[in-house]
C-alpha cells in the first residue's frame, strides 16, 4: 500500500492564462513541472482574452502533461491520483483542464481531486516551508485580495476581502492608463524603482479604518485624475516613474495597515505561533515583500514568502493541494460529477463584504 509520503500526483492548472502541469510526491519532492505563459498572446489586447486563453490551453496541455510524465519517468499506472483546478477562474480555461483530467482519470482508473485555485495558493507554504496550521494568509493576485486564517485543509476563516477591485487588477489598470503595456504589475514595479513616491502622493483607501477589508477602486481613480491634471507631463518618463512609485507606496501602506489589523485579530483568537504567509502573483512585487517583512518584524510574526516561481499560477501548488487532501484522508471526487466553479469562496460562511463587485 502506498503511503502518503510515497504518493505521486499529477497536477493540472488552466484557470487563467498559464497552462501548467506538474508531478509531485508526498514527501515534497517536485518530480517535474512545466508552465507555458500566454503573456505574448494577450499583450496586444492589454489583458487576458478568455477565448484566446482557452484555445491556447487546448493546444498546449496534452503535450505538457506528456512532457512532465516523461521527466518524472512515470507511467499513469504509477500515479496515485490527478489534481486539477476546478475553480475559481475563467470558464473556458477551467473546462479544458477539467475535461482533460476527467478523461485521464477514467482511462487510467485514477482518483480525481478537484482543487480550489485559492486553496492551492493557501497551502503552498506547507510545501515550501512545512508551515503548521493555523496561520494567517494574505492572498494577493490579479483577481483576489483576501486575508484568511488557514485552519486546516478545507478549513478557512476569512477576515477581510476587497470590496471592489483586487490589487493585481489595480496594478494592471494603472499600467494601462500610463501606456506601460501588459502585464501591468511588473511594468509598474520597474518604473516605480526610478520614481519619487512623495512627489505625486495618492490616497490610501480605508487606511486606519476598522476591519480588514480592502479597497483599490478609489486609488485607481485617483491615478486617472492625476494623469488628467498633469496633461502632457503625465507621459514624461520622470512623471510616469513618480506616479508608479506613488501608486506602489499607497498599495504597500494599505496592505500593511489591513494586514496589521488581521495579525492582531489572529493573536487574540488563536493560541498558535504567529505566522504570516503571503501568496498569489502580486507576492512577487519586491516593494510589497519589503513592506510586509518590516510589518512582520514589528508585529512579532514569522513571514513565509513562496519562491518567485510559485507566486504566480502553477501546477506544483495544485498537485500539492491534491496530496494534502489525500494525506488528510479526504475522498476523491466521483469523476463524472465534477463541475467547474468560476466563483468558489474558501470561506462560504463569511459575511458578505459591503460594496459592489466583491471578489469572493
* Domains of the chain, CATH where assigned: 8-123+310-337 (3.30.420.40), 133-308 (3.30.420.40)
Question: Do 205 and 215 contact (CB within 8 A), yes or no?
Answer: yes
DSSP state string for 31-98: EEEEEEE-HHHHHTTTS--HHHHHHHHHHHHHHHHHHHHHHHT--GGG-SEEEEEEESS-HHHHHHHH
What pLDDT, on a 0 to 100 scale, did the predictor assign at position 248?
A: 98
Beta pairing partners, 147: 138, 160
Model confidence pLDDT, tens digit, residues 198-244? 999 999 999 999 999 999 999 999 999 999 999 999 999 999 999 99
Q: Answer for the pair 82, 101: CB distance below 8 angstroms, yes or no.
A: yes
| Per-residue pLDDT reduced to its tens digit, 21-38 | 999 999 999 999 999 988
Q: What is the pLDDT of residue 357?
A: 44
Residue 356 has pLDDT above 80, yes or no: no
Q: What percent of the chain clears pLDDT 90, i.e. is strictly above it? A: 89
pLDDT digits (tens, 9 = 90+) for 95-124: 999 999 999 999 999 999 999 999 999 999
* Residue 360 reports pLDDT greater than 80: no
pLDDT digits (tens, 9 = 90+) for 33-74: 999 988 788 877 878 898 999 999 999 999 999 999 999 999
Per-residue confidence band for 1, with pLDDT thresholds at 50, 70 and 90: low
Task: For 134-157, give the DSSP string.
Answer: SEEEEEESSS-EEEEEEEETTEEE
Rg, the chain, Cα only? 20
Amino acid at each position: 500500500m502506498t503511503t502518503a509520503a510515497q504518493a505521486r500526483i499529477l497536477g493540472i492548472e488552466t484557470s487563467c492564462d498559464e497552462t501548467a502541469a506538474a508531478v509531485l510526491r508526498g514527501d515534497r519532492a517536485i518530480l517535474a513541472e512545466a508552465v507555458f505563459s500566454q503573456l505574448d498572446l494577450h499583450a496586444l489586447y492589454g489583458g487576458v482574452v478568455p477565448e484566446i486563453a482557452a484555445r491556447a490551453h487546448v493546444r498546449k496541455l496534452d503535450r505538457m502533461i506528456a512532457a512532465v510524465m516523461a521527466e518524472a519517468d512515470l507511467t499513469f499506472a504509477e500515479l496515485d491520483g490527478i489534481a486539477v483546478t476546478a475553480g475559481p477562474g475563467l470558464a473556458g480555461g477551467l473546462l479544458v483542464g477539467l475535461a482533460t483530467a476527467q478523461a485521464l482519470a477514467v482511462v487510467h482508473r485514477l482518483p480525481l481531486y478537484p482543487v480550489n485555485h485559492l486553496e492551492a495558493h493557501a497551502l503552498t507554504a506547507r510545501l515550501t516551508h512545512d508551515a503548521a496550521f493555523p496561520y494567517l494568509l494574505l492572498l494577493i493576485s490579479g483577481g483576489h485580495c483576501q486575508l484568511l486564517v488557514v485552519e486546516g485543509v478545507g478549513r478557512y476563516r476569512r477576515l477581510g476581502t476587497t470590496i471592489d477591485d483586487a490589487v493585481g487588477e489595480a496594478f494592471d489598470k494603472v499600467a494601462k492608463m500610463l501606456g506601460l503595456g501588459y502585464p501591468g504589475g511588473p511594468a509598474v514595479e520597474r518604473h516605480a524603482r526610478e520614481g519619487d513616491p512623495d512627489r505625486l502622493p495618492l490616497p490610501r483607501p480605508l487606511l486606519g479604518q476598522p476591519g480588514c477589508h480592502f479597497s483599490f477602486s478609489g486609488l485607481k481613480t485617483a491615478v486617472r485624475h492625476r494623469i488628467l491634471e498633469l496633461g502632457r507631463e503625465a507621459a514624461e518618463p520622470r512623471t510616469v516613474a513618480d506616479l508608479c512609485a506613488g501608486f506602489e507606496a499607497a498599495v504597500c501602506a494599505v496592505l500593511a495597515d489591513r494586514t496589521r489589523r488581521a495579525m492582531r485579530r489572529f493573536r487574540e483568537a488563536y493560541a498558535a505561533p504567529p505566522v504570516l504567509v503571503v501568496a498569489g502573483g502580486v507576492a512577487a512585487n519586491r516593494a510589497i515583500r519589503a513592506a510586509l517583512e518590516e510589518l512582520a518584524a514589528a508585529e512579532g510574526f514569522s513571514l513565509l514568502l513562496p519562491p518567485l516561481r510559485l507566486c504566480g499560477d502553477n501546477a506544483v501548488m495544485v498537485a500539492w493541494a491534491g496530496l494534502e487532501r489525500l494525506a488528510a484522508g479526504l475522498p476523491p471526487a466521483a469523476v463524472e460529477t465534477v463541475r467547474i466553479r468560476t466563483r468558489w469562496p474558501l470561506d462560504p460562511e463569511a459575511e458578505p463584504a459591503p460594496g459592489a463587485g466583491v471578489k469572493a
